């Protein structure tokens, strides 16, 4: 009987006691659209209402967030935290706010009831439109590979979307339940980004966390779809660990994370080889980077902004990759490949790469998936990889490509 290779787990930065059975899943069940929900390997947060919004102006985002938290404290908010989403383009407006109230509990995995399956999706007549069409996406990958062979750049992450519409109103709480129960050890979120619009998803990738002076980052790059057959699933995992193309792609990202954190941290520990991280649909190469903060006044959000965008969601060199993305993708990424998370007035927080996500409105969903393109990439394989990544969300709504 084949056995699975070693799998890296998300490294928590807080130790939490086990709650009463059902205490954590009750927060998941209490979510309603317009609220803010975030489940991570360290905690579960359900926040209601808005005490204050983080403004959009010329100041750097961490300064605006710190000023908003200070003002909330001065106004009598006992323990303010900021929650929300930052877009791929950091110059665009973020959707960050200090909630009026927030309930915090241990992680979803601490509650045995999270193992109970969610109700299956109700039958729905989904109209699915790919943007761009798969063959157009493949052509974009081929054009990028050709430019890389000419030495113009070394990596770019290209994405595509699916636009889903249905005659019935979306049941966002039910979608959130299915996402959370399918991958409870990851990062599950449902956050308002505009009136009537919700960003929700289940990301496997921690951008950075800070608790006191302890810093953790968990870059993922290099992936392969999983198989329902155990032997084939193990074969794919083992092949990923030996794939020169994927190992190179991963090393580029880890090196970028190391260089971005080095000015802020001491004692950086970067393992020499990646391990594997699994989700319900994908295997990923994973490296957990740990460090000690050099100065106590650097917040988790400052670290996140220094890291964002990593080559895992953009490419390298960054400026060239951004331009290739703008020239190739026929849509605005918005919050996709940005970051979601929370931070408090002490500077602690967790910020997660916004992948495996969708933007939901009353009767429509826009799903996003991307793939890291390097000179060794095959257009057909990259198109198939994005298709596999769509499965996380398609299964949550009962739709199929």
User: For residues 370 and 309, is the Cβ–Cβ distance under 8 A?
Assistant: no
Length of the chain, in residues? 401
Question: Using CA atoms, how far apart are residues 126 and 360, in angstroms rounded to an integer?
Answer: 14
Helices (H), 262-340: 300-307, 318-328
**Which tokens go with 298?**
């650097």
Left, alpha or beta for 250 (phi > 0: left; psi -120 to 50: alpha)?
alpha
Question: Using CA atoms, how far apart are residues 250 and 317, in angstroms rounded to an integer?
Answer: 15
Closest CA to 216 of 272, 273, 292, 275: 292
- CB burial of residue 108 (10 Å; 0-12, 13-18, 19+): buried
Closest CA to 83 of 305, 308, 304, 344: 344
**Which tokens go with 338?**
């940005």
242 is catalytic: no
Q: Are strands 95-98 and 81-86 parallel, antiparallel or unpaired?
A: antiparallel
Q: Are strands 197-203 and 289-293 parallel, antiparallel or unpaired?
A: unpaired
- Among candidate residues 205, 249, 329, 350, the one labeled active-site is 205
Give the SS3 label for residue 179.
Answer: helix
Question: Using CA atoms, how far apart are residues 100 and 388, in angstroms rounded to an integer?
Answer: 38
Closest CA to 158 of 179, 181, 142: 142
- Among candidate residues 6, 155, 249, 385, the one labeled active-site is 155
Question: Using CA atoms, how far apart are residues 97 and 83, in angstroms rounded to an integer?
Answer: 6
58 is catalytic: no
Give the SS3 label for residue 37.
Answer: strand
Catalytic residue annotation: 155, 205
């Amino acid at each position: 009987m084949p056995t699975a290779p070693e799998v890296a787990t998300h490294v928590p930065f807080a130790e939490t006691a086990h709650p009463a059975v059902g205490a954590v899943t009750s927060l998941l069940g209490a979510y309603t659209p317009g609220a803010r929900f975030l489940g991570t390997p360290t905690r579960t947060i359900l926040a209601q209402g808005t005490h204050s919004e983080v403004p959009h102006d010329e100041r750097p985002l961490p300064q605006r967030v710190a000023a908003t938290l200070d003002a909330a404290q001065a106004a009598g908010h006992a323990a303010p935290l900021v929650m929300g989403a930052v877009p791929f383009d950091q110059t665009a407006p973020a959707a960050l706010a200090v909630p009026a109230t927030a309930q915090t509990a241990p992680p979803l995995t601490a509650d045995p009831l999270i193992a109970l399956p969610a109700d299956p999706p109700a039958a729905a007549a989904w109209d699915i439109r790919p943007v761009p069409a798969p063959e157009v996406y493949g052509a974009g990958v081929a054009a990028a590979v050709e430019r890389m062979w000419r030495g113009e750049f070394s990596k770019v992450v290209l994405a595509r979307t699916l636009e889903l519409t249905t005659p019935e109103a979306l049941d966002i709480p039910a979608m959130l339940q299915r996402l959370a129960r399918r991958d409870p050890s990851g990062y599950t979120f449902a956050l308002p980004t505009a009136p009537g619009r919700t960003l929700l998803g289940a990301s496997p990738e921690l951008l950075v966390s800070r608790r006191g002076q302890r810093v953790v980052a968990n870059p993922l790059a290099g992936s392969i779809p999983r198989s329902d057959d155990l032997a084939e699933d193990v074969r794919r995992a083992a092949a990923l660990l030996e794939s020169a193309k994927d190992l190179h792609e991963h090393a580029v990202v880890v090196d970028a994370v190391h260089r971005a954190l080095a000015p802020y941290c001491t004692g950086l520990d970067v393992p020499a080889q990646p391990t594997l991280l699994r989700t319900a649909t994908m295997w990923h190469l994973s490296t957990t980077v740990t460090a000690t903060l050099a100065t106590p006044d650097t917040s988790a959000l400052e670290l996140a902004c220094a890291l964002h965008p990593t080559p895992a969601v953009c490419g390298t060199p960054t400026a060239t990759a951004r331009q290739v993305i703008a020239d190739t993708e026929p849509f605005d990424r918005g919050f996709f490949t940005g970051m979601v998370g929370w931070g408090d007035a002490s500077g602690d927080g967790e910020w997660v790469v916004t992948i495996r996500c969708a933007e939901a409105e009353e009767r429509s969903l826009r799903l996003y998936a991307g793939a890291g393109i390097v000179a060794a990439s095959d257009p057909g394989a990259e198109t198939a990889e994005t298709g596999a990544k769509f499965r996380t969300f398609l299964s949550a709504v009962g739709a199929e490509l």
